[in-house]
Structure 1
Amino acid sequence: MTTSPLPGALAMVDIPGPVLDPETAAHLRRYGVTAVCLFGKNVESAAQLRTLCADLRAVLGEDALIAIDHEGGAITRPTFWPYAPSAMALGAADDAALTQDVHAALARQLRSVGINWNFTPVLDVNVDASNPVISERAFGNTPALVSRHGRASLAGHARAGVAACVKHFPGHGDTHLDSHYSLQRVSKTREQLDALELAPFRDLLPHTPAVMTAHIIFDAIDPELPATLSRPVLTGLLRGEWDYEGVIVTDSMGMKAIDDHYGRGEAAVLALKAGADMVMALGRREVQVETLEAVAAALDGDLDPAAVQASVERLRTLARQTPAHADLSLNPEDDAALMALGWERGLSVYRDPQPPAPGSRLLLVCERYAYRENVSERGVDADTVAHDLGTLYDVQLHAYDTADDLDWPALRRQADDEGRTLVLVTTGRHRHPALAGLTPDLHVALYNPYAALLVDAPAVITGGFRPGARAALLAWLRSPHAAGPRPVFAPG
Structure 2
Amino acid sequence: MIRPESTLIIDLPGADLSAADARWLAAHPVGGVCLFARNITTPDRTARLIREVRAALERDVLIAIDQEGGAVLRRLDVPPPPTPQALGALADEDAAFRAGQIAARGLLDLGINWNFAPSLDVNVDPLNPVIGERSFGTDPAQVARLGVAWARGSEAAGVLSAVKHYPGHGDTRVDSHEDLPVVNKSRAALEAAEWVPFRAAAHAALGSVMTAHILYPQLDPEWPATLSRTLLSGVLRGEWGYQGVIVTDAMDMGAIARRYPGGQAAGRALTAGADAVLVCGHGDRSVTDAHVRALRAAQASGAVSEARLHEASARLRLAEQRFPGQVQPYRAGQQALDQTDLLAWARAALRVQGNGPRLDPAAPVVLLAPSHTALGGPYGDHVTPAQLEAALRPHFPQLTTADLLDEAAARQATRAHPDAPVLLASTGRWGATPQAQHLAATLTGRAWHLCLWNPDDAAALPLPAIVTHGFRSPNLQALAETLIAR
Tell me, yes or no, whether TM beats 0.5. Answer: yes
User: Following the alignment from structure 1 to structure 2, what is the Cα–Cα distance between the partners of residues 352 and 244?
Assistant: 47
Instruction: Classify the secondary structure of the residue corresponding to 1:251.
Output: coil
Instruction: Classify the secondary structure of the residue corresponding to 1:429.
Output: coil
Instruction: Classify the secondary structure of the residue corresponding to 2:248.
Output: strand
What's 1:391 paired with?
A: 394
User: Following the alignment from structure 1 to structure 2, what is the Cα–Cα distance between the partners of residues 264 and 330?
Assistant: 45
Aligned positions of 1:76-475 closer than 5 A: 76-207=73-204, 208-283=206-281, 284-300=284-300, 301-328=302-329, 330=331, 333-334=335-336, 335-349=338-352, 351-354=353-356, 356-359=358-361, 360-393=363-396, 394-401=398-405, 414=415, 418-432=418-432, 434=434, 438-439=440-441, 440=443, 441-475=447-481
User: Following the alignment from structure 1 to structure 2, what is the Cα–Cα distance between the partners of residues 96 and 276?
Assistant: 30
Deviation at 1:341, TM superposition (A): 2.5
**In the alignment, is the contact (CA less than 8 A) between 1:365 and 1:425 conserved in 2?**
yes
From the superposition, tell whether residues 474 and 65 of structure 1 become closer, same or farther in structure 2 (CA, over 3 Å).
Answer: same
State whether structure 2 residue 484 is matched by structure 1 residue 478.
yes
**In the alignment, is the contact (CA less than 8 A) between 1:370 and 1:381 conserved in 2?**
no
User: Following the alignment from structure 2 to structure 1, what is the Cα–Cα distance between the partners of residues 331 and 107?
Assistant: 10
From the superposition, tell whether residues 296 and 74 of structure 1 become closer, same or farther in structure 2 (CA, over 3 Å).
Answer: same
Give deviations 1:461-489, integer Å, cap 9, x for gaps.
Answer: 11211122111111111226xxxxxxxxx
User: Following the alignment from structure 1 to structure 2, what is the Cα–Cα distance between the partners of residues 352 and 126?
Assistant: 25
From the superposition, tell whether residues 242 and 389 of structure 1 become closer, same or farther in structure 2 (CA, over 3 Å).
Answer: same
Instruction: Classify the secondary structure of the residue corresponding to 1:9.
Output: helix
List alignment gaps of at least 5 residues for structure 2.
none
Deviation at 1:407, TM superposition (A): 10
Deviation at 1:354, TM superposition (A): 4.2
User: Following the alignment from structure 2 to structure 1, what is the Cα–Cα distance between the partners of residues 326 and 198?
Assistant: 29
Further displaced range: 435-444 or 78-87:
435-444
User: Following the alignment from structure 1 to structure 2, what is the Cα–Cα distance between the partners of residues 329 and 376?
Assistant: 25
Further displaced range: 81-90 or 242-251:
81-90
User: Following the alignment from structure 1 to structure 2, what is the Cα–Cα distance between the partners of residues 164 and 302?
Assistant: 30
**In the alignment, is the contact (CA less than 8 A) between 2:359 and 2:421 conserved in 1?**
no
User: Following the alignment from structure 1 to structure 2, what is the Cα–Cα distance between the partners of residues 456 and 177?
Assistant: 29
User: Following the alignment from structure 1 to structure 2, what is the Cα–Cα distance between the partners of residues 273 and 411?
Assistant: 62
* TM-score of the superposed pair, with normalisation by structure 1: 0.90
Query: Aligned residues, how many?
Result: 472
**In the alignment, is the contact (CA less than 8 A) between 1:187 and 1:219 conserved in 2?**
yes
What's 1:490 paired with?
A: none
CA RMSD, aligned part only?
2.3
**In the alignment, is the contact (CA less than 8 A) between 1:130 and 1:450 conserved in 2?**
no
Give deviations 1:177-235, integer Å, cap 9, x for gaps.
Answer: 21111211111221111111111111121222100011111122112221111111111
From the superposition, tell whether residues 142 and 41 of structure 1 become closer, same or farther in structure 2 (CA, over 3 Å).
Answer: same
**Letter matched to residue 53 of structure 1:** I
What's 2:4 paired with?
A: 7
**Letter matched to residue 356 of structure 1:** R
From the superposition, tell whether residues 123 and 355 of structure 1 become closer, same or farther in structure 2 (CA, over 3 Å).
Answer: farther
**Greater RCO (CA < 8 Å, at least 6 residues apart):** 1
From the superposition, tell whether residues 147 and 411 of structure 1 become closer, same or farther in structure 2 (CA, over 3 Å).
Answer: farther
User: Following the alignment from structure 1 to structure 2, what is the Cα–Cα distance between the partners of residues 26 and 61?
Assistant: 12
User: Following the alignment from structure 1 to structure 2, what is the Cα–Cα distance between the partners of residues 323 and 246?
Assistant: 16
User: Following the alignment from structure 2 to structure 1, what is the Cα–Cα distance between the partners of residues 414 and 403?
Assistant: 17
**In the alignment, is the contact (CA less than 8 A) between 2:400 and 2:413 conserved in 1?**
no
Deviation at 1:62, TM superposition (A): 2.7
Deviation at 1:371, TM superposition (A): 4.3
From the superposition, tell whether residues 449 and 33 of structure 1 become closer, same or farther in structure 2 (CA, over 3 Å).
Answer: same
What's 1:483 paired with?
A: none
Give deviations 1:99-131, integer Å, cap 9, x for gaps.
Answer: 211211211121122111011111011122222
Instruction: Classify the secondary structure of the residue corresponding to 2:75.
Output: coil
Deviation at 1:97, TM superposition (A): 1.0
**In the alignment, is the contact (CA less than 8 A) between 1:108 and 1:330 conserved in 2?**
no
**In the alignment, is the contact (CA less than 8 A) between 1:34 and 1:60 conserved in 2?**
no
User: Following the alignment from structure 1 to structure 2, what is the Cα–Cα distance between the partners of residues 93 and 476?
Assistant: 18
User: Following the alignment from structure 1 to structure 2, what is the Cα–Cα distance between the partners of residues 107 and 329?
Assistant: 10
**In the alignment, is the contact (CA less than 8 A) between 1:373 and 1:429 conserved in 2?**
no
Instruction: Classify the secondary structure of the residue corresponding to 2:246.
Output: strand
Give deviations 1:348-382, integer Å, cap 9, x for gaps.
Answer: 23x33446233354343321223443421221223
Further displaced range: 456-465 or 29-38:
456-465
User: Following the alignment from structure 2 to structure 1, what is the Cα–Cα distance between the partners of residues 437 and 123?
Assistant: 20
Give deviations 1:255-298, integer Å, cap 9, x for gaps.
Answer: 11111121131111121121111111111100100001110111
Deviation at 1:23, TM superposition (A): 0.8
* TM-score of the superposed pair, with normalisation by structure 2: 0.91
What's 1:487 paired with?
A: none
From the superposition, tell whether residues 433 and 333 of structure 1 become closer, same or farther in structure 2 (CA, over 3 Å).
Answer: closer
User: Following the alignment from structure 2 to structure 1, what is the Cα–Cα distance between the partners of residues 373 and 274?
Assistant: 36
Instruction: Classify the secondary structure of the residue corresponding to 2:27.
Output: helix
From the superposition, tell whether residues 50 and 476 of structure 1 become closer, same or farther in structure 2 (CA, over 3 Å).
Answer: same
User: Following the alignment from structure 1 to structure 2, what is the Cα–Cα distance between the partners of residues 194 and 180?
Assistant: 25
